[in-house]
Amino acid sequence: MPMTITEKILAAHAGKEQVVPGELINARVDFVLGNDITAPVAIKEFEKIGVNDVFDRERIALVPDHFTPNKDIKSAEQAKLLKEFSRKHGLVNYFEVGRMGIEHCLLPEQGLVGPGDLIIGADSHTCTYGALGAFSTGVGSTDLAAAMALGETWLKVPESIKFEFAGKLQPWVGGKDLILHTIGDIGVDGALYQAMEFTGPAIESLSMDGRLTMCNMAIEAGGKNGIIVPDEITRTYVEGRCKRPYQFYQSDPDAKYEKIYHYDASLIEPQVAFPHLPENSRPVSEAGSVEIDQVVIGSCTNGRMEDLREAARLLKGKKVHKNVRLVVFPGTQEIYLQAMREGLFEIFVKAGGAVSTPTCGPCLGGHMGILAKGERAIATTNRNFVGRMGDPESEVYLANPAVAAASAILGRIAGPGEVE
């Protein structure tokens, strides 16, 4: 029977010839992940299971990235649990501040996850790695604990939805805009429990950074995973990078999809998602006059090299508006170094912006850029829920790095065309 890429990866990891949507399987995991918010709970639960060792000390990453560098004593205690657990079990992939990056920027970059893998992570944006042609999904802490002990997890095989993007992208339009447009179309539960497979010419020409951004936000449509069939762009990215053998899976031409959406990518403008749901997206040209107090460029969604370069292209030689604070968060130490070498930090700092060490910080209202009551931010992050970046009466608008940079210069939500 024909299968989608998602079904093929799940079947291979369940030791089956084939699987069908709705089927419950026990699947072997190639890699698991936790962070400083979710892993402390997982560690506590792991210790209740009554096993002495983790299933594989090379296949677990603990990344303290949310409240780090530790923002207060309680956060420090949480992060310490990760450090101690990693030492006790000899975990190879524990990342201390200074080597740490935002988990979903870090793992692909370090070649810890690759095409054909099955990955679960105690973080909802674990779906990011689908961009590599992997099955990857977010779970809670208890699921992580069980997987750390067993090296397997139970999963329901999701139905797949295909999203076909025809046409060529307009300037300043990237993965963020395609995914915000999609979520705007289908809603925050438009792909509930389902696999979102992105395909078509516009995806084939999309860079790996752009693909990671798209799959990252599959969860914002309720999706179980986002996935892109691997191709030459994938091969170029993973060759010499992936630390384990990888496998390219394709969807069969006659595979079954629950639904197929067709979009003409050439008609999609840079998008802005208005408060308080990612589905409230609209073209930036229809944003109206929205004054802002803060601009955040970074996060697991848009904290990669291409994102920083895009923002720097617009900010070069310009000044951040007097009423606005701009904070830039490179996703990893490697991205940080590269951005420094390319002179991007000089552009940001001369424009009047601040550059931070990698952290999830403001994206989830943790630290390093919290909003006061009534304040408004435009951010390249992934969620604009009530209180997401601070006070419950603050507001977050989601956009791509170019829109964020243009808005920083003009002090209001603006398209890149207005400052070019």
Partner 1 sequence: MELQGKTWKFGSDVDTDAIIPARYLNTSDPAELARHCMEDADPAFPDKVKPGDMIIAGKNFGCGSSREHAPIAIKAAGVSCVIAKTFARIFYRNAFNIGLPIFEAPEAAEDIKEGDEVTVDTGSGVITNKTTGKTYQATPVPPFMQQIIAAGGLINYVSERMK
Residues within the interface to partner 1 (CB under 8 A): 24, 37-38, 40-41, 44-45, 48-51, 66-67, 71-72, 74-75, 78, 121-124, 126, 138-143, 145-146, 149-150, 154, 156, 188-189, 192-193, 219, 222, 224, 277, 364-366, 383, 385-388, 392
* Shortest separation between residue 42's beta carbon and partner 1, angstroms: 8
- Residue 325: in which H helix or E strand, if any? strand 325-328
* Shortest separation between residue 90's beta carbon and partner 1, angstroms: 20
Cβ nearer to partner 1, comparing 4 with 141: 141
Max CA distance (Å), the chain? 61
Contact (Cβ atoms closer than 8 angstroms) between residue 120 and residue 154: no
CA distance 11 to 16: 5
Cβ nearer to partner 1, comparing 270 with 366: 366
Q: Taking the CA of residue 418 as centre, how many other CA atoms within 13 Å lie in the half-sphere pointing to its CB? A: 17
* Shortest separation between residue 25's beta carbon and partner 1, angstroms: 10
Cβ nearer to partner 1, comparing 3 with 33: 33
Residue 182: which of 213, 137, 139, 138 has the closest Cα?
A: 213
Residue type, 260: I
Q: Where are the beta strands (DSSP E) in 191-233?
A: 195-199, 225-227
* Shortest separation between residue 257's beta carbon and partner 1, angstroms: 19
* Shortest separation between residue 37's beta carbon and partner 1, angstroms: 5
Cβ nearer to partner 1, comparing 153 with 407: 153
* Shortest separation between residue 49's beta carbon and partner 1, angstroms: 5
337: exposed, middle or buried (C-beta count within 10 Å: 0-12, 13-18, 19+)? exposed
* Shortest separation between residue 206's beta carbon and partner 1, angstroms: 26
* Shortest separation between residue 78's beta carbon and partner 1, angstroms: 6
Cβ nearer to partner 1, comparing 50 with 171: 50
Cβ nearer to partner 1, comparing 59 with 412: 59
> Residue 180 is encoded by which pair of tokens?
């915000």
Question: 3-class SS at 227?
Answer: strand
Cβ nearer to partner 1, comparing 103 with 310: 103
Contact (Cβ atoms closer than 8 angstroms) between residue 158 and residue 34: no
Q: What share of the chain is helix, strand, coil (3-state, %, to 5)?
A: 35, 20, 45
* Shortest separation between residue 132's beta carbon and partner 1, angstroms: 20
Cβ nearer to partner 1, comparing 277 with 410: 277
Place of tokens 């909802």: 124
Torsion of CA 99, 101, 104, 105, to 10 degrees: -100
- Strand bridging mode 118-121 / 31-35: parallel
Cβ nearer to partner 1, comparing 75 with 333: 75
Counting every residue written for the chain, the total comes to 420
286: exposed, middle or buried (C-beta count within 10 Å: 0-12, 13-18, 19+)? exposed
